[in-house]
Structure 1
Amino acid sequence: MEGKATERDVWGASTMEKTTHKALKIRSNEAAQHWTDALPIGNGRLGGMIWGGVASDTINLNDDTLWTGNPGNYTNPDAPKVLSEVRKLVNDGKYAEATKAAVNLSGNPSEAYQLLGDIKIDFDESHAVYDKETYERELDLDTAIVKVKYTAGGINYTREHFSSSPDKILVTNISASKPGSLSFTIYLDSKLQHESSVQGQNQITMEGGAPMGIKFSAVLELKISDGTGQLHVVDDKKINVKGADWAVICLAASSSFDGPFTKASESKKNPTSESQKVLDLIKNLSYAELSARHLNDYQKLFHRVSLQLSKSSTTVEKDLCSVTGNQSKATEDEKMSTAQRVKSFKTDEDPSFVELLFQYGRYLLISCSRPGTQASNLQGIWNKEIYPPWDGAPHANINLQMNYWPSLPCNLKECQEPLFDYISSLAVNGTKTAKVNYEASGWVVHQVSDIWAKTSPDRGEAVWALWPMGGAWLCTHLWEHYTYTLDKDFLKNKAYPLMEGCALFLLDWLIEGPGGYLETNPSTSPEHMFVAPDGQPASVSYSSTMDMSIIREVFSAVVSASEVLGNSQDDLVKKVLKAQSRLYPTKIAKDGSILEWAQDFEDPEVHHRHVSHLFGLFPGHTITLEKTPDLCKAADFTLQKRGEEGPGWSTTWKAALWARLHNSDNAYGMVKHLIDLVDPDREADFEGGLYSNLFTAHPPFQIDGNFGVCAAIAEMLVQSTMEDLYLLPALPRDKWPNGAVKGLKARGGLTVAINWTKGDLHEANLWSNNSNSISTIRLHYREYAVTTKVKFGRVYTFNKILKCINEYPL
């Protein structure tokens, strides 16, 4: 019997040699001046933003369950009457009138994500002056630890910050090189209504609540060096530390949120008691033990994938297969701040910065989405406002889905679990919305939601609010999870029941249209207007290309899943199969682009940020180079017509789309386009870009672009279906001529390791961790293609002409 497959072992199988390389660090030579300069830490639920001030410091705190409001009524009994009116107007070609009438289908706004508060630290007069040349603030992606270092009065001070998932706490360690020289005052504060008090000598408790509902508590516990230093309570709200060698600060936080179906006033949870229990569990652990537990947990996820990109032919022989995430010794130019690296990218196009951006996306996903937490919202878990932009709410017309694009290809499948839990909650409320609003079976989700699993339309204009495809798009993630993991239990027990409910709604939502087609009516293309034939602006018509593309994707997934599960004779599947052939097809406009709407309407904004009509190309699978070359040609022209400009998430979606077309130049061009330093004082002058902490900008900050660029880079290096695997399909050979990537996942349960030199494949390793099947895959590289079987527990090595040159146990 073969032992359990371990991916770490195969990572030593490359012929490349280790080389000096830039560490995966986000650096600054000064304290944060803006929130988007601060460095994020998180354990999936509890987030912190580290400013790194010297005389005084602030750590912003967030809890992913702290939102305004309560569960809502997501139904509208008047909607069916309005729906009939809108459908008639659309059928009569009165699109502008239909657009106005459809406002009556709109609902209420989502609730808003909140901040929790701040840890405030005021240092004594010894910190009033410090040596600015010694100041360093950095986030090490390899350890998920933020460090702040500086010298004041000849004494070296160091702070370390991390948010621990295994121990559910945020930890700060402050130390000084000279014994007895650490003195500061610490307290908690919040923009929300709150009260704080010191408990005993070394604890501060802050209790408060979000508007209209959820209560919260944060409990801070302070430990200082034994036998050195004193603690004093100040004003019953602050603790003063005097003359310590070191101090360790542990903070636990909790809220009264008890699920999306429980009113805040009816919650039985006691946030203060919950927080205190967390601290009690770690009271006997030293800082070294807390740090080790944090590292062990985090690096099990982060070290699964390594990426190295290089221009220089002198560094061709690199071995990333042996890299365990600990990038080797720093080079001189690592003293350069990350903001400077962003600025210089326009001229130096440093490939190692792309590595950093890629791994930062993985870091952020690990930090804001773990099993048992909430799904990542519009800002992940990091927020500084009581009412953040767009309420910080999950938007299901691209943004929420993009947050999870890297989870499967970038080997972080566990991080997608909160999304599946969220979909389950949405299906409960969405069943009521579908029944009352649309007299349909199954379940539906619209464009925006919140922690209460809101499923009704948003408030406002139909151009954004009337979009009942959010749940269907989310359902594609369920099937994708199976295609990557081949987890049949997940498919049977979690995914397929949700997919069935989604398909039931779609079957009812589709109505008879002209030409024997099934159509969606009303239909919009997210957030995009058109000019109706009568010259009036409108957004509501029928069978937008995105509607049809998503439905086609869901129906295909249902059929494929039913075959896996042996349900292909079920009545639902038969209905889906019958409907599939009648879906309105994707069509090409007169100018050669993909039609965005069912008719060739005039587009008043050809550079619009959304590229919804290209869903079938990416993230969908219905437009492919092999099967639909004409549509691919039209998609190419569509992207050219749309242009480069757009928010960060739009830029990264375009990068992934170009990658699917195997257009390496344009895919790389969009990655480069994103790398533009945004000035927080002049946000209005920018579209897209990066802040100094590498958060992506709409602007303002939206985290989806960070995940989108991570997924797009992966797509440039590896693409797959259940039958085919493409190596380096969109590699920009002149920009990244040498490199290696290890640990990316491919559909069919495969893991991939590739290295290349001078723009050409050197070798590729494939292996499977699925013990229940033998994968048969067509492997592609340029003009070469071979069919191969991949058995569990075996590694297969292929050369540049795809000849299998080695096979050995994993």
Structure 2
Amino acid sequence: MRIISYLISFLLLAACTGTPSKAPLTLWYDKPAQNWDEALPIGNGRAGAMVFGGACKEQLQLNENTLYSGEPSVVFKDVKITPEMFDKVVRLMKAGKYTEVSDLVCKNWLGRLHQYYQPFGDLHIQNNKQGEANQYKRTLNISDAVATTAYEQNGTHYEREVFASHPDDVIVMRLKSNTPDGIDISLDFTSPHPTALQKGTDDRLILHGQAPGYVERRTFEQIEQWGDQYKHPELYDANGKRKFDKRMLYGDEIDGKGMFFEAQLKPVFPKDGKCEITDSGIHVYDTDEVYFVLSMATSFNGFDKSPSKEGIDPSAKAAGILEKALSYDYQTLKQRHTEDYRSLFDRVDFELVSSPEQKAMPTDKRLEQFAQTADPALAALLFQFGRYLMISGSRPGGQPLNLQGMWNKDTIPAWNCGYTININTEMNYWPAELTNLSECQQPLFRMIRELAVSGAETARNMYNRRGWVAHHNTSIWRESLPNDNVPTASFWPMVQGWLCSHLWEHYQFTQDEAFLKNEAYPLMKGAAEFFADWLIEDGNGHLVTPVGVSPENSFVTEDGQTAAMSMGPTMDMAIIRETFTRTIEASEMFNLDEPLRNELKDKLARLLPYQIGERGQLQEWMYDFKEREPQHRHFSHLYGFHPSDQITPDKTPELFNAVRKTLELRGDLASGWSMGWKINCWARLMDGNHAYKIIANLFNPVGFGNSAHKGGGLFRNLLCAHPPFQIDGNFGYTAGVVEILLQSHAGYIHLLPALPDVWAEGSVSGLKARGNFEIAMNWKDGKLTEANIRSLSGKSCTLRAGQAFTVKSDGKTIATSAPVRSNGKEYFQATFDTQKDGTYLITQ
């Protein structure tokens, strides 16, 4: 019997780690990228590039994820809510004077925009050989995280490989030809920053510069219309007069503030070759092979230190990184990179069936045809592409994924390209635990710890309350004040609760009690303390938030007011209910803070409950207001349903059905990231065909000139189009696919809860479930045929499926399912004890 158990464990392990014989997962194209939205992303968790793949002219647009404008000294902190102003706002709110409240809050309670994620520069490679290129192909192999460009020119075959190595912290590019003198290229750097200068040395090319010390995307006219000149002393004098005619300040314009950055590029010849390095660039010729090692560094030295006065020397850092990497040859660098990457990527395998003809087509052609012909394997590829982006963009020691992950070309990018934390940052990390990439959340956890430091200052100085608080946006400088004058979004002091849910979920998936006690609980406690102090009596026996928004929606009252701010929006109450419940549970586990625990229990019992509106929908606000935009992209009031676990078919069937009505009213078309959220929600409603309808909408080709419908979708490179590009849609989709295949939020593990008809046959392995279980499944004709569950913590397991099943261990049946009903449907369920590292076979 023990042999059978070992065999099952071996087979499951093989499924989770992949096999060498499998064809690699690739995105591929038969022409170079024509613009940034067609280039292919690579990254090592700190440094990244968009690879264009040109034959005559190659371009690598470079990013390093600590390179931001500004520094701590330009963070605006002068906002304070006086008791008199707070009481006035509450009185007006209770009197239904919503527009007056909005005017007061926008004028008195808001700060200014956070600072901006910056592009680093571009590396250009000019092919000096003349002649037309043919037999062209560019590929991003996401099984190995290597981008390749291949073509023929004048009878010579050329190939470029580019990868970003996490273990060696460099970007590596190799060029090969099949003739002895086939390579003749010139390389140079450019940067959008006017401070950047290129310099050649004996053995390398250097780009050195300084990021802007201050950037502002609001126009002068907007700032002056709002009367916000005093919030921008960098741009205005004490009399409110403009000091500059521009809003991006460098060097002496901003007292020398701004982050320094440097790149170093060194060519290496495995055999013979000639090389000339000058201040104009690098010229390489008379060789058939050369590779380049690129290091990048900034002077960033922490969220609370000036990068211009207290920064790390980027020159020394870049040189140190480069010298260490140069101790390895190309093959070793590549081997170290692929082994490290595969140790994460190969944990999950996902197979869906498409025709050989579909698989043989270029990726953009498959995307164009998706609406006409289902292509399940392309859907599986996009799922794994999300995991590729997670591994490439978020590693321990680096910064968390921002609105564009780490890939950005603009000095004034859309929405500052920072952290929009009323959903977008959190959505970036929805797939991390689900798809066995738990360690990729470490940068997010560090940001939460750092934001709690500035957030405690804001809670104390702005609100005079305990704990810590943050609002709608932040950046690498961990700004925690509310943003400037956008009433539907800016004033939203709820961020700390949502961020802390990621800490709790990490515990749920890993069962790491030391993490929960030492790292998560103190942050959860601080969030709960602020919420406990923020609540007020509504006059009807309930506690509510005194003023808030349902991001980023607005409502119309019966007397014709259009407003966004109200007491007790449903999302506020859902986040507070979740934060209190989980903080109480952790406090009881470790016997900590009994007085606070009792306070939270008392206030939890008095929170305003969920309400169902007259249309049968889950009510979005305290009162059944009409939405100004009924099909708004945000549906924040569903937080308690997803990503939280408060509304489930077993515990709250009426609310569960109200969620369905809400989604029906919202409609199926939306921006890219919003469709990612809708996929998750329809999957949790266990409606796989409707979830797939949203998936089909997401596979809308954007930028092709013939998009199937307006709104969001995918660019040729499969990055999500909001539009413009926002990476959260990619991660929302990947998480949504897991919710289709596996759910564990409701107190049990549900296998194939929402499988769409079009995915009738497939397999998956390596997915994670709460309780620290690892799952592998096969299905055919829409029904589960077999599953393996590996228990990594030895917890009791409750399992649910759509048909009867048995549970075996060591060849013996240890549990048989029994029928259960949930929301009018019949399922089969069994509960059984597990042993740590035990493997359990599930069969019909």
* Distance in 2 between residues matched to 1:300 and 1:553, nearest whole Å: 34
SS at match of 2:833: strand
Tell whether the 8 Å contact from 2:111 to 2:481 is kept in structure 1 after alignment. Answer: yes
Measured against aligned partners, the alpha-carbon deviations of 1:538-557 in whole angstroms (never above 9, x if no partner) come to: 11111000001111111111
Measured against aligned partners, the alpha-carbon deviations of 1:661-687 in whole angstroms (never above 9, x if no partner) come to: 111111111111100100177999841
Residues 8-407 of structure 1 aligned to structure 2 (within 5 Å)? 9-11=10-12, 23-71=24-72, 72-78=75-81, 80-104=83-107, 105-126=109-130, 128-131=131-134, 134-212=135-213, 213-226=258-271, 228-234=272-278, 236-310=279-353, 333-407=358-432
Does residue 677 (structure 1) correspond to residue 697 (structure 2)? The answer is no
Which of 736, 756, 771 does residue 759 from structure 2 map onto?
736
* Distance in 1 between residues matched to 2:357 and 2:183, nearest whole Å: 31
TM-score w.r.t. the length of structure 1 is 0.92
* Distance in 2 between residues matched to 1:7 and 1:690, nearest whole Å: 39
SS at match of 2:455: helix
SS at match of 1:118: strand
Tell whether the 8 Å contact from 2:177 to 2:183 is kept in structure 1 after alignment. Answer: yes
Which of 776, 781, 798 does residue 758 from structure 1 map onto?
781
Which of 596, 600, 619 does residue 595 from structure 1 map onto?
619
Measured against aligned partners, the alpha-carbon deviations of 1:373-417 in whole angstroms (never above 9, x if no partner) come to: 011100000001011100101111100000000000110000000
Aligned position for 1:493: 518
SS at match of 2:581: helix
Tell whether the 8 Å contact from 1:106 to 1:461 is kept in structure 2 after alignment. Answer: no
Structure 2 vs 1, CA of residues 562 and 680 (structure 1 numbering), >3 Å: closer, same or farther? farther
SS at match of 2:633: coil
* Distance in 2 between residues matched to 1:166 and 1:148, nearest whole Å: 24
**Structure 2 letter corresponding to 1:119:** L
SS at match of 1:146: strand
SS at match of 2:123: strand
* Distance in 2 between residues matched to 1:709 and 1:550, nearest whole Å: 23
5+ residue gaps, structure 1, are 313-330, 801-810
Aligned position for 2:505: 480
**Structure 2 letter corresponding to 1:90:** M
Does residue 775 (structure 1) correspond to residue 796 (structure 2)? The answer is yes
Tell whether the 8 Å contact from 2:162 to 2:173 is kept in structure 1 after alignment. Answer: yes
Aligned position for 2:252: none
Aligned position for 2:555: 530
**Structure 2 letter corresponding to 1:151:** E
SS at match of 2:338: helix
Structure 2 vs 1, CA of residues 611 and 669 (structure 1 numbering), >3 Å: closer, same or farther? same
Structure 1 position 791, deviation (Å): 1.0
* Distance in 1 between residues matched to 2:139 and 2:398, nearest whole Å: 26
Q: In terms of mean alpha carbon deviation, does 336-345 or 394-403 score higher?
A: 336-345
Structure 2 vs 1, CA of residues 611 and 66 (structure 1 numbering), >3 Å: closer, same or farther? same
Residues 413-452 of structure 1 aligned to structure 2 (within 5 Å)? 413-452=438-477
Aligned position for 1:322: none
Does residue 749 (structure 1) correspond to residue 772 (structure 2)? The answer is yes
Structure 1 position 84, deviation (Å): 2.9
Aligned position for 1:807: none
SS at match of 2:93: helix
* Distance in 2 between residues matched to 1:22 and 1:599, nearest whole Å: 56
* Distance in 2 between residues matched to 1:627 and 1:401, nearest whole Å: 25
Aligned-residue Cα RMSD (Å) equals 2.3
Measured against aligned partners, the alpha-carbon deviations of 1:341-395 in whole angstroms (never above 9, x if no partner) come to: 1111112111101110100000001011000101110000000101110010111
**Structure 2 letter corresponding to 1:74:** K
Structure 1 position 759, deviation (Å): 0.7
Q: In terms of mean alpha carbon deviation, does 62-71 or 675-684 score higher?
A: 675-684
SS at match of 1:407: helix
* Distance in 1 between residues matched to 2:671 and 2:154, nearest whole Å: 45
- Bigger relative contact order, structure 1 or 2 (CA pairs below 8 A, ≥6 apart): 1
- Matched residue pairs, number? 771
SS at match of 2:431: coil
Tell whether the 8 Å contact from 1:22 to 1:334 is kept in structure 2 after alignment. Answer: no
* Distance in 2 between residues matched to 1:21 and 1:296, nearest whole Å: 16
Tell whether the 8 Å contact from 2:200 to 2:277 is kept in structure 1 after alignment. Answer: no
Tell whether the 8 Å contact from 1:80 to 1:437 is kept in structure 2 after alignment. Answer: no
* Distance in 2 between residues matched to 1:258 and 1:8, nearest whole Å: 45
Does residue 790 (structure 1) correspond to residue 834 (structure 2)? The answer is yes
* Distance in 2 between residues matched to 1:114 and 1:392, nearest whole Å: 8
Structure 1 position 722, deviation (Å): 7.4
Tell whether the 8 Å contact from 1:408 to 1:484 is kept in structure 2 after alignment. Answer: yes
Which of 575, 578, 581 does residue 556 from structure 1 map onto?
581
Structure 2 vs 1, CA of residues 417 and 722 (structure 1 numbering), >3 Å: closer, same or farther? farther
Aligned position for 2:246: none
Tell whether the 8 Å contact from 2:8 to 2:839 is kept in structure 1 after alignment. Answer: no
* Distance in 1 between residues matched to 2:519 and 2:571, nearest whole Å: 26
Structure 2 vs 1, CA of residues 762 and 682 (structure 1 numbering), >3 Å: closer, same or farther? closer
**Structure 1 letter corresponding to 2:740:** M
Structure 1 position 74, deviation (Å): 3.2
Q: Percent of aligned pairs with the same residue?
A: 38
Structure 1 position 692, deviation (Å): 0.3
Aligned position for 1:513: 538
* Distance in 1 between residues matched to 2:802 and 2:461, nearest whole Å: 52
**Structure 1 letter corresponding to 2:726:** Q
* Distance in 2 between residues matched to 1:531 and 1:53, nearest whole Å: 52
5+ residue gaps, structure 2, are 214-257, 804-826
Tell whether the 8 Å contact from 1:496 to 1:558 is kept in structure 2 after alignment. Answer: yes
Aligned position for 1:321: none
TM-score w.r.t. the length of structure 2 is 0.88
Does residue 637 (structure 1) correspond to residue 671 (structure 2)? The answer is no
**Structure 2 letter corresponding to 1:591:** R
Structure 2 vs 1, CA of residues 13 and 77 (structure 1 numbering), >3 Å: closer, same or farther? closer
Tell whether the 8 Å contact from 2:262 to 2:296 is kept in structure 1 after alignment. Answer: yes
Aligned position for 1:805: none
**Structure 1 letter corresponding to 2:836:** F
Structure 1 position 332, deviation (Å): 5.5
Structure 1 position 781, deviation (Å): 3.5
* Distance in 2 between residues matched to 1:30 and 1:83, nearest whole Å: 60
**Structure 2 letter corresponding to 1:180:** D
Structure 1 position 229, deviation (Å): 1.9
